[in-house]
Amino acid sequence: MVEGSQIDWAGHAHDAAWAMNDSKAFDEAVAAAIEFAKKDGNTLVVVAGDHETGGMSVGANGVYDVKTEVLHDVTATGDVMASKLSESRDNVQEVVKEHTGLDLSEDEVNRIVEAKDPAIAINEVVSDRALIGWTTSAHTGTDLPIYAYGPQAEAFSGLLDNTDIPKKMAKAMKIELNN
């Protein structure tokens, strides 16, 4: 079992770069599992999430595009950057430039300086630059996809209740559950 748990925290914090990095690491783990399953021929790989967080969307400020290249230069989370801010936050421009490569506008600097939570403000400025939007800092009710590869993968198609997933996995492994 592999858990990509950091994407949840990234969604709460509106940290698109952190979410992308965790997704990349998770994707690499899934690729390794599928490669093993292809060679083994007897391994079922199931990829499922428990919920979506943050309501990340492609497109921000009325522009439906994404600039992922903005996220490639981010070397720290918003929390790390916020922890490096002085008490007066007069070093916002320098801290954000060091960890993102971005030159902030005066409005962006003021947004971070005046924010109740500077970490989220930094993340939202970076997200805006990448044209990534957020709808909430909480969990959403979005249906999640489920992917399966290997023997009995067909049992994981269609719309499933999340409580059915472990039952289907137990059946695939020939494990009897006590209900």
Query: What residues are designated binding site for Zn(2+)?
Result: 8, 12, 50-51, 139
Burial tier of 43 (Cβ tally within 10 Å: 0-12, 13-18, 19+): middle
The annotation places the binding site at: 3, 8, 12, 50-51, 139
Q: Are 22 and 7 in contact (CB under 8 A)?
A: yes
How many helical (H) and strand (E) elements, i.e. helices and strands, does the chain have?
A: 8, 6
Q: Are 165 and 99 in contact (CB under 8 A)?
A: no
The annotation places the binding site for Mg(2+) at: 3
